[in-house]
Amino acid sequence: MKFTIFQESRIGKRKTNQDRIAHCYSRDSLLMVLADGMGGHLHGEIASHVTVQCLTNVFQREAQPKLSDPALFLSRELSLAHHAIIDYALEKGLREAPRTTVVACIVQDGHAHWAHAGDSRLYLLRDERIHIQTHDHSRVQLMMDQGLLDVRSAATHPNRNRVYSCLGGTHLPQLEFSRRTPLQTGDVLALCTDGVWGPVGNDGILRGLYKESPMISVPRVLSQAEALAGPTCDNLSLIAMVWREGDSEGEYSDVVSTQTMALSDFTTRMDSVRQTRPASGEALLSDDEIERAIQEINDAIQKFSK
C-alpha cells in the first residue's frame, strides 16, 4: 500500500476533549477510526476511548498482514465496543452508560469499507467533488430527508446535535455499512466530527482537503473550523488519507509505503487522552488518577476483545 495520512484532534472551547482518533496499519491493511463522546452524557470520553481502543487492539491482533473479512471485522468490533461500554458503566455503577458516535474505515486490497453510527462523518473526495458522504443518524437529517428543513435551517436548529444511533446508552446501535468501494489514485478519505463539518460545511471539507497533502490541509481545516465556530467551538477531530497507489515512485515525500513491512509489524497512532482545560480553581487529575482510569478502560476492553 502507498498513502499519505495525517490526523489531529483539538479541544476547541470545551473543558475536555471527548473525541478520540486513531489510525493503524500493517503491511496490507489500514484502519482509521474516530469517535466523538457525547457531551450530554456522563463520561463521554470513556465511551470514545473504549471504542477506539477496542478496534485498534483487535486490528493489531488480526491484520497479520490483513483481515480475513473487513466488513465482518467492523460489524463485530463495533458491536463489541458497544457492549464493553455498557459493561464499564455497570461495573462503575454509573447512572447511565456513556455514549459516543463513531466512524471507522478499513482500506485493504485497494478497496475501502466503512461503518458509522451517529453524526461523525466519512467523506470520499474524487475528481474535485464529494463522491460519497455518510448519512447522519440525527433528528435534523431525518427532518431534511422529509423536506421539513433545508441546509441553512439545519445548521442552526436547536436539535442539530441530537442523534438516534450511537455506541453505549440503552439501545443497540443502528450501524450503517458501506459497500466494498474501489479506490483510485488521488482519492481522499476523510473522517471528521461535527465540530469540523458543522462550521466549514461540505464545501469547506472539499476545498480544504482535495489536492493537498494532509500534513498541510488537516491543520488548516481545523483552524478554519475553530475560527468560524468562535466561542462555541466544539471538540474537533479530523483524519485524512490520500490514496497514492499507482503514483510514480518518489513523486511525494510524505508517502507511507508498507511494502517492506514484516508480516507482523504495525504502526499505530492514537491521540493522547490528556486534553483538558480546567475551570478556574479546578484541579487537573493527577497522573496516578489518569493511569488508573486508563487501566480500568483497558480491563473493560480485554473482556470483549479476546
Which CATH number belongs to the domain containing residue 32 in this structure?
A: 3.60.40.10
Tell me the residue type at 122: L
DSSP letter at 235? P
Residues 6+ positions from 179 with CB-CB distance below 8 Å: none
Distance CA 51, CA 34 (A): 9
Contact 28, 245 (CB under 8 A): no
DSSP 8-class letter at 127: T
Taking the C-alpha atoms of residue 267 and residue 103, their distance in angstroms, rounded to an integer, is 20
Residue 108: per-residue pLDDT? 98
pLDDT (tens digit per residue) in 30-71 = 999 999 999 767 789 889 999 999 999 999 999 999 999 999
Mean pLDDT lowest among 68-82, 146-160, 267-281? 267-281
Band of residue 246 on the pLDDT scale cut at 50, 70, 90: confident
As for how many domains the chain has, the answer is: 1
280 or 299, which is more confident?
A: 299
Task: Answer whether 5's CB lies under 8 Å from 241's CB.
Answer: yes
Give the whole-angstrom CA distance, residue 275 versus residue 253.
31
Range of the domain at 91: 2-304
Q: Is 39 exposed, middle or buried (0-12, 13-18, 19+ CB in 10 A)?
A: middle
Provide the pLDDT for residue 169. 84
